[in-house]
């Protein structure tokens, strides 16, 4: 259940129409999770500064369940940042990403934690 928040000072009208669909695929491929499990929020038109300038920039927060960050963070960052840079015409050094990993009991859907949902699914098998 990757959760991704993208903040950018790019205008909403300048974000390509197919950006969301393609970005979800990039995230799911990079993290090895199904497309249907990715939640993506894009916040355009932000007042932002990176490297003391207000030129085009983006900040991403990507949280996943039990991600092997120590071993794989470079792969995740390269795939995600490169895509955002290319699609939004933002220099790569102005795309900042923060990755985090949580345990299944630290997140949920509806009224249950992901750990509870997994336990219920395992009982059915």
User: Going by C-beta distance under 8 Å and a sequence separation of 6 or more, which residues neighbour residue 110?
Assistant: none
Counted domains in the chain? 1
pLDDT at 119: 85
pTM of the model: 0.88
pLDDT band at 16 (very low <50, low <70, confident <90, very high): very high
Cα 31 versus chain centre, distance: 10
Residue ranges making up the domain that contains 62: 3-124
Q: How far is it, in rounded angstroms, from Cα 56 to Cα 8?
A: 8
Average pLDDT, the chain: 93
Domain holding 56: CATH number?
3.30.429.10
Q: Which two tokens stand for residue 100?
A: 């985090």
């Amino acid at each position: 259940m990757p959760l991704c928040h993208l903040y950018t000072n790019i205008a909403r009208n300048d974000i390509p129409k197919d950006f969301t669909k393609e970005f979800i695929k990039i995230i799911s491929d990079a993290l090895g999770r199904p497309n249907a499990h990715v939640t993506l929020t894009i916040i355009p038109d932000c007042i932002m500064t990176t490297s003391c300038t207000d030129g085009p920039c983006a900040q991403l927060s990507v949280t996943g369940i039990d991600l092997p960050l120590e071993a794989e963070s470079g792969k995740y960052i390269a795939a995600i940042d490169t895509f955002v840079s290319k699609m939004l015409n933002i220099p790569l050094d102005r795309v900042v990403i923060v990755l985090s990993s949580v345990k299944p009991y630290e997140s949920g859907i509806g009224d249950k934690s992901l750990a509870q949902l997994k336990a219920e699914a395992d009982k059915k098998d």
